[in-house]
A and B are shown apart, each in its own frame.
Chain A
Amino acid sequence: MVEFLQFTLSGVSFGMIYAAVALSLVLIWRGTRLLNYGQGGMAMITTYIAIEVVYRTGSYWAGFAVALAAGVVLGALCQVTIIRPTMNKPPLNAVIVTIGLLVLLEGLAGIFFGGQFRSFPTAFSVTGLRIGGTPLGVSRFDIFVVAAVLVTTLVLATAFRYTSAGLRMRAAAFNATIARLSGIRVARVLTVGWALAGLLGALAGVLVSPSTFLYPNSMDTIFVFGFTAAVIGGLDSPVGAVTGGLLLGLALSYAGGYLPSGASLVPVVAFAILVLVLMVRPDGLFSATQVRRV
């Protein structure tokens, strides 16, 4: 029973990371109907920037803030320079461009920061919390991870729903032509969307790097699972992204704990879950779409 609790809590912690990545992908998808395969690479670069700041200033929070800011800037920059030209072209072009972005960022990270593992600090203790004498298998930092992702999600959701900027973004995603006719600067809105996605990715990077160590390819697996979580939840639904992330995190944690050679079978379990969900709901769990039948 204690084991189950420990698996659950560690699954929630990782699940929130997947949820953050999934959210960033959903943001970009909703705004631009584009899958950003470079999201993991962008998160990795901003985390490298953060670690340089932390080691020079000695302050974790300075690095944290810089990472988020860098995420915003990098997201906007990418959208303006390389993504915008691919609009109105075949959509797979944009996919290849984002893949190219990922590879380019990994190469640049190797060149400028070196390929060795970097240890990334945490803001809070990693010593486990206990109830009575029983360790729970979570630390204060894990709680911070969950809280950070939840708070960011809520802030974004509220902003989308209740501010005029959020309304503009939703309008541009709904129908860009009509939005333009209403005076909305669609191009700028798209850039903002990418900037926010960059922020979410940077957040995910900073939160997960203490557990994965930072190196040019460190976000690859996280991105794959984040993408899977987004697909499971439905790419149009932020709620779906968070749900998908949690679901995946928990399932993989249980699989790793209970199955023999579970650790190696984690991708297989993820695939199985994905297939199961998509068999029943081809557009993800929270999709509002119905498959058109004639």
Chain B
Amino acid sequence: MRRTHRLRWQAAAIMTVAAFTVAACSSGSGSGSSSSAGSGSSSSSSALTASAPGITPTQILIGSHQPLTGPAAPGYSEIAPASAAYFAYVNAHGGVYGRKIVYKYLDDGYNPTKTASVVRQLVLQDSAYAIFDGLGTPTHLAAVSFLNAQKVPDVFVASGCECWNDPTKYSQTFGWQLDYIREGKILGQYVKQHFAGKKVGFFYQNDEFGQDGVKGILDELPASMVVSKQTYDPTNTNIGPAVAALRASGAQVVMAFSIPAFIALLKLNSLKLGFNPTLVASNVGTDAITLSGLLEAFAKQGGAKVNGNQLIEGIITDGYLPALGSTDNSWITLFKKIHDQYDAKAPFDGNVLYGEAVGYTFAQAMLKAGRNPTREDLVTAIQNGIPQGPAIAPYSYSSSDHMGITGAYMGVIQNGQLVQQGPVLTTDASASGAISTYSGSEQQAPASGIPSP
């Protein structure tokens, strides 16, 4: 045979052998650092079985996709470790019916293609029982069809988009946090009531987060009050032109649906322009600790009279979890204790509170799902309603509603902390739905820190 042919045959032979080797090694379930099945049902509860993929007698494996790296990571990357901290606490105190929750969250860098890949890895290779707290709207949209087609519970998506509330098309998917339209309505009503006759400008992110928020605001706020609508793009930090336009319009109140970095930039650019409107912003961007951190360097300037904390004083916002500064609140005490023990490196800020609170909600749902739950059991458990838990308003879960928290309270940032002003307000996501005061009382955290089944 000529050398050329030999070369080619050698190559073909190598490839075929490699293919067979790979097939032999990987057939069956993949590797993954996941369930260590068969470690023996040594626990005394002899009734525990491997009732569903991801559930063994000793553990429950759940997965998530999170932006742990990349431009979207700052802030959001704290949420999953906080949930993991809460689960560690639960595991240390008996687990869920004796099973430990194993939380495997993978980085998707806020890239939908990567999300598709890691979610398939979690479901097809690691056989996760459910996907929990998938973060981001464009990213989760890359996973939602797959998860529903595979009938994998897709619980408590970390995004306020209305898209998760579609029980017919996405029967497995549930939201959790207050959605942006409801939030917009609550903020809009507040401005209508407290700033009647003033000029209002909008500053919002140019995607469904900002647009849904504005839509909600305009359900309540008369359009005649709005003098300027400025958008920003998270990849472009030069918002000077937008702020200049707001100032030129004479806006006395600026309503913002922005992430914390852009609230901080808004404040800095306003300072540069000598512009000092009242800021009414979505809770997504107003965590006081995050904002103080972003503006920290400006508190230390030589010779300048700006102080980081001063910059965020008086920001009006909403909240659907207890305020971080309310040290007499049983939930804050509980979550701070858990944070100090299991997640101490992160600051105890809004993202950590979010992560622990949604983790608590998952524990509630799993306990309701039963001793040996199937995947359907989890979905049914949520649809039958979840007690309020740390949220300050009830959940809307039912067989026809998969959205989540239904209301918030208004508050003001004072001395670096959010202080509640007024009652909890609840509403629905429709344009005409009224906003009503919630008269129910807030729940107390269980003494053990673990929800009752």
Contact = CB atoms under 8 A, between A and B. Distances in A.
Given A125-B304, A264-B206, A135 B71 contact: no
Interface string B262-303: 001100100111110000000000000000011111101111
Contacts, number: 149
A60 B243 CA distance: 28
A115 B68 contact: yes
Given A121-B298, A135-B273, A127 B306 contact: yes
Interface string A229-269: 00000000000000000000000111011100111101100
A3 interface: yes
B237 A115 contact: no
Contacts of B194: none
A256 B298 contact: no
B94 interface: no
Contacts of A253: 238, 240-241
B272 A138 contact: yes
21 contacts: A6-B244, A115-B68, A116-B74, A116-B77, A117-B75, A117-B261, A119-B295, A121-B298, A125-B301, A125-B306, A126-B271, A127-B304, A128-B271, A135-B273, A137-B272, A210-B297, A213-B74, A213-B294, A217-B70, A264-B233, A267-B235
A227 interface: no
The 4 A-B pairs at the shortest CB distance, nearest first, are namely: A257-B241, A10-B240, A121-B297, A135-B274
Contacts of B264: 213
B268 A126 contact: yes
Interface of B: 68-71, 73-75, 77-78, 206, 230-233, 235-242, 244-245, 247-248, 260-261, 264-265, 268, 271-275, 293-298, 300-306, 308
Contact of A2 (B71, B248, B261, B300): B248
Contact of B242 (A117, A130, A257): A257
Given A121-B301, A257-B242, A127 B272 contact: yes
Contacts of B230: 263
Contact of B238 (A10, A110, A139): A10
Nearest to A212: B237
Contacts of A14: 238
A41 to B, nearest CB: 14
A130 B240 contact: no
A122 interface: yes
Contact of A7 (B233, B244, B261): B244
Contacts of A71: none
B304 A126 contact: yes
A135 B247 CA distance: 10
Given A125-B301, A125-B304, A266 B236 contact: yes
A122 B300 CA distance: 9
Given A117-B74, A215-B73, A257-B241, A128 B273 contact: yes
Contacts of A215: 71, 73-74
A212 to B, nearest CB: 5
B111 to A, nearest CB: 12
Given A128-B273, A130-B274, A263 B297 contact: no
Given A3-B244, A7-B240, A263-B242, 17 more contacts: A2-B248, A119-B298, A123-B302, A125-B301, A126-B304, A127-B306, A137-B244, A137-B273, A220-B71, A256-B240, A258-B241, A262-B241, A263-B233, A263-B236, A264-B206, A264-B233, A266-B233
B74 A7 contact: no
Contacts of A3: 244-245, 248
Contacts of B306: 125-127
Given A126-B272, A126-B304, A261-B206, A256 B261 contact: no
B241 A7 contact: yes
A128 B274 contact: yes
Contacts of B265: 211
A120 interface: yes
